[in-house]
Chain A
Amino acid sequence: MIEIKDLKASIGEKEILKGLNLVVKPGEIHAIMGPNGSGKSTLASVLAGREDYEVTGGEVVFNGKNLLEMAPEERAREGLFLAFQYPVEIPGVSNMNFLKAAVGEVRKHRGEEALSAKDFLALVKEKSALVELDGQLAHRAVNEGFSGGEKKRNEVFQMAMLEPKLAILDETDSGLDIDALRIVAQGVNAMRSPERSFIVITHYQRLLDYIVPDVVHVLYKGRIVKTGTKELALELEEKGYDWIKETVA
């Protein structure tokens, strides 16, 4: 699905990713954990194509294509989805119109016909139920006046609508109470399939009780320093990150 080799990226003068390697196969869920400032969100932004970051080395192959050469919207149309840590508000633009345009572009790219209004509405109904999103929210402006939990549920709802090949969840659990966390996880789990992969970025083990990963990585100072099974997450929860830091040092 995605193969990241020796990826290096900086913001301004500061190098944040210092040679990161990661391979995610179709159907797998990889969790990336790590202390603050280790480069977790940078990785998500670089993969999605945010301009603020400069890629200074390495390569990323996504479904056999060179990801780093693609514009952000091409990456999205090719099936890379980022659930944002801080979803932005777009006043005056209804969630429905926004999604209609997005789904339209993605389908066009895949060579599929545009959905009829009726089919689109049916899809909205089906997918919003996955994250127990109130029908009203679909008609409100994108994320405007949404609570923290509603914003995150909206991200997962959009993901379900766009049916990506690879979804990156950037600290989707931050700021969620236990009920919202359960709902978000339920949405993600419903989308698991042998063709779809996930990279779940999180600070806490808590989310991984609900979304069970195949592989857990620890990111520290811009590199993956430890890889294990889901038990690694439990170990981190118990011991904190200090022992990792010591190991690396």
Chain B
Amino acid sequence: MEILDEITGKDYEFGFTTNIESEKIPAGLNEEIIRVISAKKNEPSWLLDWRLEAFKIWQGMNEPEWAHVHYTKPDFQAISYYSAPKSKPKYNSLDEIDPEMRKTMDRLGISMDEQKRLNGIAVDFVMDSVSVATSFKEKLAELGIIFCSISEAVQEHGDLVRKYLGTVVPRTDNFYAALNSAVFTDGSFCYIPKGVRCPMELSTYFRINEAGTGQFERTLLIADEESYVSYLEGCTAPQRDENQLHAAVVELVAMEKAEIKYSTVQNWYPGDKDGNGGVFNFVTKRGLCDGYKSKISWTQVETGSAVTWKYPSCILKGDYSVGEFYSVAVTNHFQQADTGTKMIHIGRNTHSTIISKGISAGHSNNSYRGLVQINSSAKNARNFSQCDSLLMTDTSGAHTFPYIEVNNSSAQVEHEATTSKIGEDQIFYCLQRGLDEEQAISMIVNGYAKEVLNKLPMEFAVEAQKLLAISLEGSVG
């Protein structure tokens, strides 16, 4: 269909840069750099040792090549591993925030204003290497909830960080996880105490601003027994011709009967329509359902990045624990995504659900890669997977790589997969009722992704719908 072949492309909305003086250490990666980072953050010696060990592990590893993506490997010596806005790195009140920074937040639609949003969302804002502001901290503290940057947590809740850091994603896990462990600079930390239901959405907003930097954030979220938390993260970056590296690690721990709902709207700069620039998004996210009847649910809407390599996973260790993965991944122009999940069933009667919706437009490539592993101990484990792919053009690709390993005969594993081309009949039907092509595509695509979008917190669901429409605007013509 003609309209789908036209690639015009709407400009990336968040491609601006902020003129904030920043302190950036020289490019390069070696033990000395790691010592500098650790010293700048005034870290205890255990953490410096932990980093140095990770660096050694990383040096002995090779960059993974098994993913269905092609890119020029980053030059790790050309990246600056620490960049922080120069003015006061952490603000005590909103009035202190640098006006330029304030403007950035406004343009990104982040409200740090607690007065105006009493029932709103608590936000931790991370720009380049550091967390610059966290809202609602006091209010949350009244319930015993700790929500702060991980740097702050290292200082003030060192024991908790030390106890859990690297327990879900060990330093040896993979090349990027090892790199992140060596050089991570900030990220969010959250602890929900026993029996507490977190009364508001917790959210971290990540922003890469400086050129020639990478972002290596680390998030650690612990839900103690019978607690509940819904957490969401958003990300954007300026438009640059170079590729920027983002290698994050997210670790979640859910104890007995605890529930964690983790949502991501990923909108890193995807590169221009000819495939220049864009963020390399190489992320390791994993949750441990440690306790009986614990539950972890990942929801992701992936529209950004030039290359995405990301598999938010669940280790279902506790009996009757539940893991869920809901994903919409959109690729346009020359974007490449290799994303999916791993559900590792260890406990008895563990259940997992995977719903993945890929949408490929332009010349992009979109792959689902997922592992369902039922260990011999996982009696009566059940999994249901559904992987759908929607092709918008003849020049885009959709691929599905499901891996299923079953070592217990009482397990039930179901896998369904479909690939369809966006229906010309569907579009014509909409046109005949008076809708224009953009409305038609937006409606059809949002309908297709609805099962996943419904899992997002209300406020984000609306954002995500708009984002889907914007991301695909180019493919409609």
Is B69 part of the binding interface, using a Cβ–Cβ cutoff of 8 Å? no
| B433 and A162 form a contact (CB under 8 A) | yes
Interface centre among A49, A98, A162 (most CB of B within 10 A): A98
Contact partner, B434, options A76, A91, A93, Cβ 8 Å: A76
A92 smallest CB distance to B (angstroms): 3
| CB contact list, B1-54 vs A, under 8 A | 1-2
User: Once the chains are docked, how many angstroms separate the CA of A87 from the CA of B443?
Assistant: 17
Scan residues 224-239 of chain A and give those whose CB is less than 8 A from a CB of chain B. none
* B296 contacts partner chain A, Cβ-Cβ < 8 Å: no
Using CB atoms, name the residue of chain B closest to A76: B434
A98/B443 in contact, CB under 8 A: yes
Q: Within the complex, what minimum Cβ distance (angstroms) separates A139 from chain B?
A: 13
**A210 within 8 Å of B by Cβ?**
no
Closest to A106 in B: B434
Cβ of B439 under 8 Å from chain A: yes
Contacts of A73 in B (CB 8 A): 431-432, 434-437
**CB within 8 Å of A: which of B423-463?**
423-426, 428-437, 439, 443-444, 446-451
- Out of B2, B432, B443, which one reaches A48, CB within 8 Å? B432
The answer to whether A88 and B448 have CB atoms under 8 Å apart is no
Residue in chain B with minimal CB distance to A109: B434
Partner of A82, one of B1, B423, B432, B447: B432
Whether B431 lies near A92 (C-beta < 8 A) is no
Complex Cα–Cα for A106 and B447 (A):
22
The answer to whether B429 touches A102, judged by C-beta atoms less than 8 angstroms apart, is no
Q: How many residues of A contact B (CB 8 A)?
A: 30
Which residues of A are found within 8 Å of B424, using beta-carbon distances? 51
> Which residues of chain A are near B451, meaning CB under 8 Å?
92
Contacts of A77 in B (CB 8 A): 434
Chain B minimum-CB-distance residue to A50: B428
CB-nearest residue of chain B to A141: B447
Pick from B426, B434, B444, B449: contact of A162, CB under 8 Å: B434
Task: Chain B residues near A93: list those with CB within 8 A.
Answer: 443-444, 446-447, 450
A72 to B428, CA, bound (A): 8
B448 contacts A91, C-beta separation under 8 Å: yes
Contact B449 A92 (CB under 8 A): yes
Q: Which residue of A lies closest to B454 (CB)?
A: A92
B423 close to A98 (CB less than 8 A):
no
Given A51-B1, A88-B426, also A158-B446 (CB < 8 A): no
B449 CB to closest chain A CB, in angstroms?
7
Given contacts A91-B447, A92-B449, A92-B451, contact A72 B432 (CB under 8 A): yes
Residue from B1, B435, B443 having most chain A Cβ neighbours under 10 A: B435
Q: Which residues of A contact B428 (CB under 8 A)?
A: 48, 50-51, 72
How does the 8 Å CB contact mask read for A96-117 relative to B, with 1 for contact and 0 for none? 0111011001100100000000
Contact of B447 with A49 in the complex, beta carbons under 8 Å:
no
With A101-B435, A101-B443, A105-B435 as given contacts, are A87 and B429 in contact (CB-CB < 8 Å)?
yes
B residues near A92, Cβ cutoff 8 Å: 446-451
State the CA gap A75–B448 with chains docked (Å). Answer: 27
Whether A121 is near chain B, meaning CB under 8 Å from some CB there, is no
User: Are A105 and B434 interface neighbours, CB within 8 A?
Assistant: yes
Closest to B440 in A: A73
Question: How distant is the Cα of A50 from the Cα of B1 in the complex, in angstroms?
Answer: 11
Residue of B nearest to A80 (CB): B432
Indicate whether A90 reaches chain B with its CB closer than 8 angstroms: yes
Query: Which residue of A is nearest B3, CB measured?
Result: A51
Q: Are A76 and B448 in contact (CB under 8 A)?
A: no
Tell me the minimal C-beta distance from A110 to chain B in angstroms: 11
CA distance A207 to B86 in the complex (A): 79
| Residue from A75, A84, A106 in contact with B429 in the complex, judged by beta carbons closer than 8 Å | A84
Whole-angstrom distance between the Cβ of A29 and the nearest chain B Cβ: 20
Which residues of A are found within 8 Å of B450, using beta-carbon distances?
Answer: 92-93
Give Cα A81 to B430, complex, Å: 12
Q: Once the chains are docked, how many angstroms separate the CA of A87 from the CA of B425?
A: 9
* Min distance, Cβ B147 to any Cβ of chain A, angstroms: 34
The answer for the CA separation of A101 and B447 in the assembled complex, in Å, is 14
Name the distance in Å between A98's Cβ and chain B's nearest Cβ. Answer: 7
Q: Which residues of B contact A109 (CB under 8 A)?
A: 434
Q: Taking the nearest CB of chain B, how far is it from the CB of A233, in angstroms?
A: 27
Closest residue of B by beta carbon distance from A159: B433
C-alpha gap A76/B436 in the complex (Å): 10
In the complex, A12→B437 CA distance in Å? 24
Q: Chain B contacts of A48 at CB under 8 A?
A: 428, 432
Chain B residue contacts of A81, Cβ below 8 A: 432
Task: Report if A72-B431 is in contact (Cβ < 8 Å); known contacts: A90-B444, A92-B448, A93-B446.
Answer: yes
Q: Are A102 and B1 in contact (CB under 8 A)?
A: no
Whether the Cβ atoms of A90 and B426 lie closer than 8 Å is: yes
**Chain A residues positioned under 8 Å from B435 (CB to CB):** 73, 101-102, 105
Q: Given A73-B436, A82-B432, A158-B433, are A51 and B447 neighbors across the interface (CB < 8 Å)?
A: no
Complexed CA–CA distance, A77 and B432 (Å): 9
Q: Which chain B residues lie closer than 8 Å to A106 at the CB level?
A: 434
26 contacts between A and B (CB under 8 A): A48-B428, A48-B432, A51-B428, A72-B428, A72-B431, A82-B432, A87-B429, A88-B423, A88-B425, A88-B426, A90-B426, A90-B443, A91-B447, A91-B448, A92-B448, A92-B451, A93-B443, A93-B447, A102-B430, A102-B433, A102-B434, A105-B433, A105-B435, A106-B434, A162-B433, A162-B434
Give 20 new A-B contacts, CB below 8 A, not counting A48-B432, A141-B447.
A49-B432, A51-B2, A71-B431, A75-B432, A76-B432, A76-B433, A88-B423, A90-B443, A92-B446, A92-B449, A92-B451, A93-B446, A93-B447, A93-B450, A97-B443, A98-B433, A101-B439, A102-B430, A102-B433, A105-B434
Closest 7 CB pairs of A and B: A92-B447, A93-B447, A92-B450, A102-B433, A76-B434, A105-B434, A72-B431
